[in-house]
Amino acid sequence: MKATIKHNNTTFEIDFSKPIDISIPLTNTDSNPIAWYIDKPVIEPVKMGDWVGKVSEGASTNFNNIFFNPHGHGTHTECLGHITKDFYSINQALKQFFFLAEVVSIQPEVQVEDLVITKLQIEDALEGKSPEAIVLRSLPNDVVKKSKNYSNTNPPYLEEAAATYIRECGIKHLLIDLPSVDKEKDEGKLLAHKAFWNVKDVNNLNADARHDATITEMIYVNDEVTDGSYLLNLQIASFENDASPSKPVLYKL
């Protein structure tokens, strides 16, 4: 289905029959990506005495429990409640779901033993644009991202100045194909998270902290998706939690 939409005084043609899903499915197999030193998700039928919630074992329906962690088991979207003493919910933070987004590909720079995405790289990639959302594809774009165990691998991350620059551009939604915008082992500093949400004190939130801004991690942007402008549909489940599994979908403009 094709449609013409007007957004921020600009008119776009969208073909909604051609969605580009950049989420990673959650499975209970070894192909599920993992981060933060946890095991793979568990998806299993409910058992009550001799009854098993599985049609192949005699039940009338398949009736599974699912045990997972949104931060460690795949594509997820989080709000500033991820790092604050007080509780804030992604379900309350994200109230709009369509945004103009810019997909950019960046080769992280080597800094001592780390790979880092820098402010200058973000600035160059955006070329003066200030979209509502930025989708960061790190290079090389190995398909192993869809199934990698990131624990104890020191993945690439975003430097604090880069996160600050993204915030200062007015970008509300940051999507990245890594398990975190911050260094895996950073002594709990979380500099990029704090810079993006403008959180100065996690125990006493400042008035200008960005409650309506989100970070989405562990996406995968196929090589066939070229850098450029897209319409982003950022879908979450209605969890009253700091984070939810999510399904970001792009549409070419």
> CA 253, CA 231: separation in Å to the nearest integer?
7
Every domain of the chain and the residues it spans? 2-26+70-252
- Before 140, cis peptide (omega within 30)? yes
The DSSP annotation for 174-209 comes to EEESSS-SS-SSSTT--HHHHHHHT-S-TTS--TT-
- In this model, does residue 123 exceed pLDDT 80? yes
Domain 2-26+70-252 CATH assignment equals 3.50.30.50: yes
Query: Would you state the structure tokens that stand for residue 17, as one six-digit string?
Result: 């029959």
CB 236 within 8 A of CB 90: yes
> CA 210, CA 166: separation in Å to the nearest integer?
13
Query: pLDDT tens for residues 181-212?
Result: 999 999 999 999 999 999 999 999 999 999 99
pLDDT at 1: 78
Query: pLDDT tens for residues 78-113?
Result: 999 999 999 999 999 999 999 999 999 999 999 999
Using 50, 70 and 90 to split pLDDT, how confident is the model at 6?
Answer: confident
Query: pLDDT tens for residues 30-63?
Result: 999 999 999 999 999 999 999 999 999 999 999 9
> CA 47, CA 25: separation in Å to the nearest integer?
25
Crossing angle of helices 160-168 and 119-126, in 10° steps, is 40
**Dihedral, CA atoms, 103, 111, 214, 91, nearest 10 degrees?**
120
- In this model, does residue 168 exceed pLDDT 90? yes
